[in-house]
Amino acid sequence: MRPALISFAVIAAASSAMAARAAPDSPNLVLVIADDCTKYDTEIYGGPAKTPHLMRLAGEGMNLTRCFQASPMCSPTRHALFTAKYPVKTGAYPNHTYVSDGVTSIASWLRSAGYRAALSGKTHINPPAAFPFEYLSTRPIPENKRPRQNPDFTAIDTFLGDCVKNKTPFGLFVCSHEPHEPWNKGDASKYLPAKLKLPPNFFDTPKTRAAYSRYLAEITYFDGQVGDMLALLDKHSLADSTIVIVLTEQGSSFPFAKWTCYDAGVGSGCVIRWPGHIKPGSKSDALVEYIDMIPTVCDAAGIKAPDDLDGRSFLPMLEGKTNKHKEHVFALQTSRGIHGGPDYYGIRTVRDERYRYVRNLTPGVTFKNTAIKTPWYGEWLAAARNGSAQAVGMTKLYQHRPAEELYDCENDPWNMRNLIDDPAFKNRAGILCDKLAAWMKSQGDKGQATEMEALKHIWKNAGDSVGEE
C-alpha cells in the first residue's frame, strides 16, 4: 500500500490552530544535526576541525562521549531519531527510506502538546504524513530536493519571532547538509593538506590529504551554522528556556565510517545545553542512542509519547543524578539500494561500554559504495597494486571483511585490530553475539531475509522520488 501524503503548506497553516496548549513554563527544543561528520574529526573530540561554537556549547552544557545511532546512513538515522524506534521495526532501514503505516513521530507528539513543530534544512524522511513539521524556508523547494538543503536562518528568525510574540513553545529541528560531500564550503586554506595529521585508518596520499582538507573546512562551516542558531536564540531571549542538542550524525564517507558499523560510523558527537538543569562543562560517558533523544526531551517537557518506543529517557543523567543509562547499544547497515553499492551487504552490531561486536551477514561479498570511485581511493588501490603492504591491508580490510569482528574500543577507538580469533576474548564475543541475536529477534530482523526485502522499503519504489543521499 502506498503511504499517505500530506502537504507541508497545509501543516504550516494548521499550526496556528492547535487544540492543546502547553504549560507556560514548557521548555523549547532546538536540535541541530550535521550530515556525515565523523565525531573524531571535530575539535571537541580531539580532531583537527575547529568548532568554536560547539566548544562553547559544551562549556555551557554536557558533552556526551558515548552517543550512538542505529544506522550509519542519513535516512534511517533520521527516521530512528524522529520516531524513537530502531530501523527495522519502523520499516525504515535502507537509505532513502520511509516508515510503515501507523508509525508516528515527534512532530505529531509536539503538536498534540501545544507546541509548534518545525524543520529547516535537510529532510530525508518519508512519508510527510508521518512527519507533520512546518517546513521553514523563504523560497519554494520541491519536495524531492529537500534532502540536499541547508537550514534557512532567515525563515528560522521569523519563526522564532512569531513563537515569542504568540508565547508558543516550539520544537525546531535544524538539519544541515554539511559536511556531506562534495566538500565545497568553508575555507580550506585553514587546513593545509601537507600539515594535516590524518586519522590512523587512512592511507596517506596527496588526493586523500586534499579531500580531507576540504572536508575539515566544511565541518567548520557547519560549526558556523551552530553559531548562527545560538545567535538567534540570544536575539530572541530564548537561550535560557530552550534545550539545545547538537549531533554530528554518522561518520564521513571516507573509509571505515559512513556505511560501516565501526565506532567511527555509528558513533556520534552529542552536546546538550539546558540552563539551570545541566551543569555547565559537564561530561558523561554513559551509553546513549539517538532513539533516546526524543523520549528525553518529552520527559523534560512533560509531553506524552507513545508507550511502544525503543528509546528511553536519559533525563536523570542530564540532571547529574546518575552517569549510567544503557548496557548495550545496537545498529545495522543495509547497503542494498545505496548509490554505487552491492546488491546486498548487511551488517549488524552491538557495543557495550568497552567492546564492539560486528556481524557481516555476507562476508563473501565485496563491499563497495560511491567512495570506491573517488580519485583519492583510486590512489589507495593504485598503491596496493604497486605492492604497498599498508595499502593492501587497508583496502582489503575495507572491502573484504570476515563474518565476525570484535574490537576493544577503549584501546582501539578506530576499530582497526580485530580480536575475534583471540582466545582471550572468546567469552566476550559469545556474550555480545547472543545479545545481538536477541535484539534482532525483538526487532523482527531476520538477517539476510530482511536485507533482501530492503528495496521495498525505499521511497521511490513506493511511487515517489527521494532526491539525493
Residue with the bigger pLDDT between 152 and 466: it is 152
Q: What confidence score (pLDDT) does residue 147 get? A: 55
- Tell me the pLDDT tens digit for each residue of 421-448: 999 999 999 999 999 999 999 999 999 9
| Proportion of the chain above pLDDT 70, given as a percent | 92
Name all contacts of 48-52 with Cβ < 8 Å and 24+ positions apart.
48/191, 48/196, 48/197, 48/216, 49/191, 49/216, 49/219, 49/220, 49/223, 50/190, 50/220, 50/223, 51/219, 51/220, 51/223, 51/226, 52/223, 52/227
Q: What confidence score (pLDDT) does residue 15 get? A: 41
Q: How far is CA 200 from CA 263, 375, 392, 413, 434, in A?
A: 14, 20, 15, 10, 31
Q: What confidence score (pLDDT) does residue 144 get? A: 61
Is the pLDDT at 7 greater than 50, yes or no?
A: no
Q: What confidence score (pLDDT) does residue 424 get? A: 98
Helices (H) and strands (E) in the chain, counts: 14, 13
| Confidence bin at 460 (pLDDT 50/70/90) | confident
Is the pLDDT at 141 greater than 80, yes or no?
A: no
Q: What confidence score (pLDDT) does residue 373 get? A: 95
Lowest mean pLDDT among 46-60, 132-146, 185-199, 203-217: 132-146
Mean of all residue pLDDT scores within the chain: 93
Is the pLDDT at 462 greater than 80, yes or no?
A: no
- All domains in the chain, ordered by first residue: 8-327 (3.40.720.10), 332-462 (no CATH)
Q: What confidence score (pLDDT) does residue 461 get? A: 82
Residue with the bigger pLDDT between 337 and 190: it is 190
Q: What confidence score (pLDDT) does residue 5 get? A: 34
- Tell me the pLDDT tens digit for each residue of 243-260: 999 999 999 999 999 999
